[in-house]
Each structure stands twice: as C-alpha cells, then as structure tokens.
A and B are shown apart, each in its own frame.
Chain A
C-alpha cells in the first residue's frame, strides 16, 4: 500500500499519508466519524446495562444494608451505600 504522497522534500507541500489520494482521505474520515459515533453509542449501551443492573439489585441492596444496621441508601443524601456514613446526611435533609 502506497501511503506516501512525495518522493522528495524538494517543493513538497501537504506531505501527510494519503495526501494525494482523496478517496483514501474520505474513507479514513468516514471511518473516524463512524468510530466517534460508535464510541458514544457504546457508552450509551454500557451505561444502560450498568444502570439496569443496579436498578434490579436495588431492593436487595437496601434490604441487606438494613439487616446489617447500615442506614439505607434511600435515607442518605451524601454518600455511597458501600461506606459508612461520615456525615449526618439525614440531618441535612431536615435543615
């Protein structure tokens, strides 16, 4: 595959790979745009999967925390369910 548009630096201008091949440039550009769109779509589906799984697990997580005498998630404003509270977040709600 010949990617190089110049054979000498004498009089060279645009010298990037495929500079003399507009079809290749267009193809690479379309591929870049497609990759861009693919990544955003992938992020969307990854998020959906991750969030759906948490939504499904949520009732049992709440129950488990309650049984272990940890303040249930629904009663906390501030912090993650998987660490002990470090500030009185319930009080913050009552203020």
Chain B
C-alpha cells in the first residue's frame, strides 16, 4: 500500500511538471503572436525593428528574471521589506534549488512559467512604442517591467501570502491586474514622454490614420495570442497532486471553471468590440483579448453568462477609450494601454462589483473596497516607475530615435537585411498564367 502511495505521489509530481512544461510552450505562442501583430501594424520601413524588439524582449527578460525576478516574487509578499525565509532564499540565483536538482521538481518549472508571464508584460509594452523607441531604451524598460515591477505586484496580489490578499482579500486569479494593468499603465507612463510617431497628427493636432502595412499579419498575430493565452491561464492555476486544484490564493477551482469563463469572455469581448467599433477588423479581433482580460480577475467565480456580459461591456468600452486617447495625442498603435491597462483595471473592479462576499482561505472576504485599492496599487506600480524612468531616459537623449531615422525607417538605418527584398508582388496560379500567355500568343 505504501509502495502504491509513493507511486501515485511520483506520478502526480511528473504530471504536474508536464502540465507546466506545456503551459510554458504554449505561452511562447503569445510572443509569436505579438511579433506577427507588431510586424503587421508597423509600416514596411520598420518591420525588422518590430520583430527584433519582440525577440530581444524574451532574451533580456528570461535571464533577468533568473537573476532577481523570481527572488522578488518570493521575498516581497509583505510590501517593500524582503523576507529571508526558506522560500525566498531558495529563489536566489545561487541557491541549490535554482538549477538541476533531483529533490526539487517545482522550482524550475514554476520559475519558467513565471518568466514567460514576465516576458508577456514586455511584449505588451513593446506594441505601444513601435516605430520610434530606441531598442536599448526599450530593453532597459522591459527588464524593469518584466523582472521587477509586475513581479513585485505579483508578490503583493498574486501570492498565497501577499499583503493585498491577507489585508484586503484581493482577488485577481487570471492576473488581469498584476500582469495586464501593470504593463498597460507602465506603457502609458513611457508613452507620455516618448510621444506620437511623426506624421500621426496634423499641425492642428488632428490624428491621421497610419494604416498597418499588413493587416493579415496583425490579425494572425492576435489569433496566436489567443492560443498562447490558454498556456497563460493554465499557468494561473495550481496543479495539486493530492486533491482539488486550487487558485494562487489557495481557494479550490479547476480548469472547467477557467474554460467556461475564458471562452465566454472571449466571445463577449469580440461581440462588444464589433458593435462599438462598427466592425473595425483591428478592434473586433482585439475584442477577444479584451474579453478574456475582462473576465480574467474573476475567471474562477463567475457564472459564464455573467462572464459573457462583463466581457461584452469591456468590448463596448475599449474602442471608445482607444478613440478618446488617440484624440488626446496618445499614439498607441496597437491599443495596448486600453486592452491591457484599462481593461485590466476594469476586470479587477468587476470582481469587486459582482463577486464581493466570496470567502478567501487566507485573509478577509472579497470586497469592492479591496478590489478598488488593489486596482489603484496596480496602476501606481506600473505608471509611476514607467513615467519616471522614461523621463530620465528622455533627458539623457536615450529614449527616442533621431527624427531622420524615424523618417527613413529603422530597418534601413540599423539592420543588415530587408523584410521584403522582392516586394510583395501579386502572383498567379499556373492555370491563369497559361490562359493569359496563350491569349497573348494567339
């Protein structure tokens, strides 16, 4: 019997590792998606720059998250004073747990999943700043956001002992606040100093339309992000080997709960955006993301019909806020500040409105007040550092590319290559070609 119990335990551990391993793999689709999305939205002169920025995001956030990000998560659940308990010491990059260890099945796989969450924040930031930020400045900002800020927010509000949970009962199961709102408002802080792309506004301040050079690439990118989101949301649940699966807050849940609301939210967001944007393809497809994020914070709690309606309302407001921001001089080509920042906050507050009173295992029940304070903390922890660091970089003349380079295009100035050396000519199939040539010869 003891032998059987041991075997079952081992099987559970292996299943857990396999589960998070594939969540990590799926989350790479988010980055493939952001890459394709930003390439499509960029003008043809900045295609390689957009691609390189996305690849380099992963390359800087993964190691910096190893150097200090994972430690921040484990050390700061109480606020700004770090803990030096066993968990926090085990997350230091020189610990015996932070490398191949036969007795530790968890550290690597959890670190990996969190590193991909971190990289997602960098990709969210990336889209807002395309076509005019220096790559070096972007990488500094992405490292700060991905390996310090969001994970500090995560330690406070997405951790079984985080102070937002233990003091206020904060609930944000799908990381709508700690990932999306933090990243979105960080992007806003940076954008204020970076400014719009040249040509985006007329001398009178009216916005011009700068069209994506490749809309199919942008739309395919969004579809890839949706695929990746199933890895992201899967990584938001704790795989238990000896009982019911739980949320990151220790409350019971399961993948069925997540599936109901993620899919209903996805559909509701698309419908809302379709109506509000009058069938604008960019906003309609972005609506899927709006919907999933709208229900993200309460993914485990909502009746799916309610999740659908919350997402639908999110979809109705997102394009309008995007339009308003554009009129106010905020040039966010991919709408990341609205989709991630504003809708992330909306998601956290929606839990306060519709799920107040749900009990927590640790800390008080969920309340509107707790969710509101949590949302304010997420906005502040994203916006303030983004604003300040971008200001410093701007003063050092290290934030934005020179005007001449922006006009000519970053690809020509910086990268040894061309995205479309032969252009994108229209082509014919064999039958059409033969028909045409035979007509000519006759």
Contact = CB atoms under 8 A, between A and B. Distances in A.
Interface string A58-84: 100100000000000110111111110
Q: Chain A contact residues (Cβ within 8 angstroms of B): what range?
A: 35 or more
A1 interface: no
Given A61-B408, A73-B408, A78-B43, A50 B63 contact: no
Contacts of A40: 60, 136, 139-140
B405 A55 contact: yes
Contact of B407 (A19, A33, A74): A74
The SS class assigned to the A binding surface is helix
Interface stretch (B98-106, B235-243, B262-270, B381-389): B98-106
B411 interface: yes
Contact of B411 (A16, A55, A78, A80): A80
A15 interface: yes
A80 B136 contact: no
Contacts of A78: 43-45, 199, 210-211, 213
A77 B210 contact: yes
Given A25-B94, A43-B139, A51-B401, A36 B67 contact: yes
Contact of B198 (A15, A25, A55, A77): A77
Interface in B332-349: none
Interface in B60-111: 60, 63-64, 67, 93-94, 96-97, 99-104
B174 to A, nearest CB: 31
Contacts of B101: 13-16
Q: Chain B contact residues (Cβ within 8 angstroms of A): what range?
A: 35 or more
A83 B423 contact: yes
A44 B411 CA distance: 16
A3 interface: no
B408 A77 contact: no
Contacts of A36: 60, 63-64, 67
Contacts of A19: 96, 99
A80 B405 contact: no
Contact of B94 (A22, A79, A92): A22
B202 interface: yes
B54 to A, nearest CB: 15
B134 interface: yes
A79 B63 contact: no
A87 B211 CA distance: 10
A29 interface: yes
Nearest to B414: A50
Interface in B244-300: none
Contacts of B135: 43, 47
B43 A16 contact: no
Contacts of B398: 44
A53 B405 CA distance: 10
Given A15-B102, A36-B63, A92-B209, A47 B96 contact: no
B432 interface: no
A22 B423 CA distance: 55
A4 interface: no
Contacts of A87: 211
A13 to B, nearest CB: 5
Given A19-B99, A80-B412, A82-B412, A73 B407 contact: yes
9 contacts: A13-B103, A14-B100, A40-B136, A44-B398, A50-B413, A51-B414, A54-B404, A78-B211, A80-B409
Given A29-B93, A80-B412, A81-B407, 10 more contacts: A16-B99, A22-B94, A40-B136, A53-B413, A78-B45, A78-B199, A78-B210, A79-B409, A80-B411, A86-B44
Interface of A: 9, 12-16, 19, 22, 25-26, 29, 32-33, 36, 40-41, 43-44, 46-47, 50-51, 53-55, 58, 61, 73-74, 76-83, 86-87, 89, 92-93, 95
